[in-house]
Structure 1
Amino acid sequence: MNPYERKRRWKYLLLFFAIVIAVSSLWYTDFLVQNIAKSERTRAELWAQSLKRMFETDNDEMMNFLFTIRDSLPVPAIVTSEKDSIITYQGLDTAKTYFEIESNKKYDPKYFLKELREMKNQHNPIPVEFYGKKNLIYYKDSDLLNQLKVFPYIQLSLIAVFLMLAYFAFNSARKSEQNQVWVGLAKETAHQLGTPISSLMAWVELLKERFKADDSLILEMENDVRRLEVVADRFSKIGSKPILSSHSVYDVVKDFVDYFRVRVSDKITFEVNGDEQLEALINVPLFDWVIENILKNAVNAIDGKGIISINIQENIVKEQIIIDITDTGKGIPRSKFDTVFQPGFTTRKRGWGLGLSLTKRMIENYHGGQVFVKESELGKGTTFRIILKSSINYVPTI
């Protein structure tokens, strides 16, 4: 299992536990709400019975006792007749139950109707008889119960926001640290390659003097040494903003393909098509690296004979140059279209899984373009698409 797959499984596992915790919290809160709701229903029924007894008793001592019971049960309630005429109420907002007209306090009908409508929506009424007439007692949930209903959602939301902020903070710090290590390693690699490459260049010149200067083996050796020099230059540019200039995309791609094709199996055919006049803003050493990474993946995907074709075209409306690199290899599952660009993802036993990750970084961060899997079919091949900024309106700075 590659590191990316292992990392993804850990994410799913953590997500599963987070869902379990959230569901458990909501279930337990709902359990508490149900119990408190039952308790409030019992309290409302007891209040209704005490109210009924108050209308039936003439005993002053019993009346005082019933008043004590009624006042000890803080239930927001409204007592109505069967026709919804309000008889009395308890526990409502005293600041809203009345309004003043010419210094006389009157019931505010709008407030009572709103409260009554809310009570009807929450609970079934408690029937009770006063003087032989059937009346209805409506009540609503207490403020404590209403707060308890929303508390877990507020709590989980705050925890989620905190975890997201912590994740982004730690992730940003980790990426910054990785970038510093990557830049330091790249520049040190370029520095270490400098001395042996200079020596190799000198040895090639010496061979050209002693033997035939146009010998094909010596010329290919010289090309490889110059290639090493380009590689060292690539690493030295990591971490600094590369200089982009206008180049013919066809010429840059064609030059690299000519170099690359003699270093892979002759069973693989390369085709480069497109308008040779199309120019884009690129840094040639870094862009060569991009093409090299995609072509190497294409070669590894082809089992035996195959074709790798590169088509270059222009999107005039968006002022973009589009490069499609198509191979006849084994293809990529649709679920892996984004995964292939993740660091550490590889299908090779000895691969590091960094090639396409670097490709994405160089195209998006350094060239301001895009790279993605345009299409792929298992057993038939894959097309990678690179989008670059056209230099049609480019004005070089002096």
Structure 2
Amino acid sequence: MNPYENRRLWKYILLSFAVIIAVSSLAYTDFLVKSIAKSERTRAELWAKSLKTMFETDNDEMMNFLFVIRDSLPVPAIVTNEKDSIITYQGLDTTKTYFKLDADRKVHDPDYFHRQLDKMKSQHEPIPLEFFGQKNMVYYKDSNLLTRLRFFPYIQLSLIAVFLLVAYAVFNSSKKSEQDQVWVGLAKETAHQLGTPVSSLMAWVELLKDKLPEEDGSLVMQMENDVKRLEVVADRFSKIGSKPILSNHKVFDVVKEFVDYFKVRISDKISFNITGDEDIEALLNVPLFDWVIENILKNAVNAIGGQGSIHVHIKENSSRTQVIIDISDTGKGIPRSKFDTVFQPGYTTRKRGWGLGLSLTRRMVENYHKGSVFVKDSEIGKGTTFRIILRNNKKDVSTSA
């Protein structure tokens, strides 16, 4: 398992634990709510029975005892007759049960009572109550404690989720910034370390030109090309973290020049074909863009493995504002679920791979060339097409890294 898939597995494990904790919290709260609701139902039934007994008894001492019982049961309730007319009530908001007609007179607010009655009907089944030969109904609603408890876990989980999201965003941003600083420092140090041996090799090549006979000139030329390539690589790393200058270049010529260099250094069983408009221009930093093409071509060569072909097609979009470069191979293909994963740092299918090539490719295209790169299409066993989209602007600009 590569490092990226390992990190993703841990993310799924942690997410599973979070879901289990959330579900457990909701389940336990639901258990508490049901227990309290059952207790409140019992209190409502007891309140109804005490009310019935009060209407039927003539004993003053019993009446006082029933008053104490009734008043000790804090149940928001309304008693109605068969026609839904309100007979009595308890535990409602005293500031809303009346409204003033004048300084001396107050009457019940019917709208408030009907709203409360509708709410009680929606929450619980009524308790039948019969006295004086009449059938009545006792309706009640949840207490404030029960209402708050019903919503508490959702509020709690929402606050925790918001906190975790903010913490993750801050941590991720800090981690990415730290990684960028390490990457930029490493790149510049690499460029610095390459500078001295490359300069020395260039001198040795010049010395070989003078010492070797002319028939060996082609070998020296290839050595010189490789040394120049090392110089280009050092230049690439030195540009990381700085402001690369973008200028107009013919895309076809830039791609062809690199392909000509690249194809003689791989198996001759892999053929190359470049098609498209040769006059299309795009804003490029050639050393960095060569790196982009190199990474995609290396990925294609590895996917092909043995014999196959690589096709590069260059065109413009319909509005002629973008340059589109499609790089297709006849390799083993990429599963659709991995279309975005292949650009993640550390993702690789090779045992000795670092999983950085396509990640750097996306960084250079998006951050430095203000374009985009993605897997346009792929089919297992038939091949893959990567698409690069660049700006087609006729003005030279500088972009921030």
Match of 2:99 in 1: 99
- TM (norm. structure 1) is 0.97
Deviations 1:33-83 (A, max 9, x none): 000000000000010011111111111111111111111111111000011
1:229 aligned to 2:235? no
- Residue 318 of structure 1 and its aligned partner are, at CA, apart by 6.5
What does 1:176-255 correspond to in 2, within 5 Å? 176-212=177-213, 215-255=217-257
Identity in percent: 75
Greater Cα shift, 173-182 or 247-256: 173-182
Match of 2:313 in 1: 311
What is the rounded CA distance, in whole Å, between the counterparts of 1:252 and 1:333 in structure 2?
31
- Residue 238 of structure 1 and its aligned partner are, at CA, apart by 0.8
Match of 1:124 in 2: 125
Paired residue type of 1:181: V
What is the rounded CA distance, in whole Å, between the counterparts of 1:206 and 1:140 in structure 2?
98
Other structure's SS at 1:244 match: strand
Other structure's SS at 1:78 match: strand
Q: Note if contact 2:97-2:108 (Cα within 8 Å) is conserved in structure 1.
A: yes
Q: Note if contact 2:275-2:314 (Cα within 8 Å) is conserved in structure 1.
A: yes
- Residue 160 of structure 1 and its aligned partner are, at CA, apart by 1.1
Deviations 1:356-382 (A, max 9, x none): 010011111111110000000010000
Write out the 4+ residue segments of structure 1 that deviate beyond 6 Å after TM superposition.
Answer: none
Match of 1:32 in 2: 32
Match of 2:55 in 1: 55
Give the alignment's Cα RMSD to 1 decimal: 1.3
Unaligned runs of 5+ in 1: none
Match of 2:349 in 1: 347
Q: Note if contact 2:248-2:396 (Cα within 8 Å) is conserved in structure 1.
A: no
- Residue 130 of structure 1 and its aligned partner are, at CA, apart by 2.2
Unaligned runs of 5+ in 2: none
- TM (norm. structure 2) is 0.96
- Residue 161 of structure 1 and its aligned partner are, at CA, apart by 1.1
Name the count of aligned residue pairs. 396
Q: Specify whether residues 289 and 396 from structure 1 end up closer, same or farther in structure 2 by C-alpha distance, changes over 3 A only.
A: closer
What does 1:116-155 correspond to in 2, within 5 Å? 116-155=117-156
Deviations 1:152-178 (A, max 9, x none): 011111111111111122222211111
Greater Cα shift, 192-201 or 124-133: 124-133
What is the rounded CA distance, in whole Å, between the counterparts of 1:197 and 1:395 in structure 2?
31
- Residue 180 of structure 1 and its aligned partner are, at CA, apart by 1.2
Deviations 1:69-109 (A, max 9, x none): 11111111100001100001111111111122244212211
What is the rounded CA distance, in whole Å, between the counterparts of 1:38 and 1:55 in structure 2?
26
What is the rounded CA distance, in whole Å, between the counterparts of 2:396 and 2:333 in structure 1?
41
What is the rounded CA distance, in whole Å, between the counterparts of 2:234 and 2:353 in structure 1?
21
Q: Specify whether residues 204 and 377 from structure 1 end up closer, same or farther in structure 2 by C-alpha distance, changes over 3 A only.
A: same
Paired residue type of 1:277: D
What does 1:358-397 correspond to in 2, within 5 Å? 358-392=360-394, 394=395
- Residue 225 of structure 1 and its aligned partner are, at CA, apart by 0.6
Q: Specify whether residues 213 and 150 from structure 1 end up closer, same or farther in structure 2 by C-alpha distance, changes over 3 A only.
A: farther
What is the rounded CA distance, in whole Å, between the counterparts of 2:290 and 2:396 in structure 1?
23
Structure scoring higher RCO (CA < 8 A, sep ≥ 6) equals 2
Match of 1:3 in 2: 3
Paired residue type of 1:338: D
1:17 aligned to 2:17? yes
Other structure's SS at 1:129 match: strand
Greater Cα shift, 25-34 or 48-57: 48-57
Greater Cα shift, 361-370 or 211-220: 211-220
What is the rounded CA distance, in whole Å, between the counterparts of 1:245 and 1:129 in structure 2?
93
Deviations 1:88-140 (A, max 9, x none): 11111111111222442122111111111110011111111121211100000
What is the rounded CA distance, in whole Å, between the counterparts of 2:102 and 2:83 in structure 1?
30
1:324 aligned to 2:326? yes
What is the rounded CA distance, in whole Å, between the counterparts of 2:333 and 2:318 in structure 1?
30
Other structure's SS at 1:266 match: coil
Deviations 1:317-342 (A, max 9, x none): 26110000000000011111111011
- Residue 210 of structure 1 and its aligned partner are, at CA, apart by 2.8
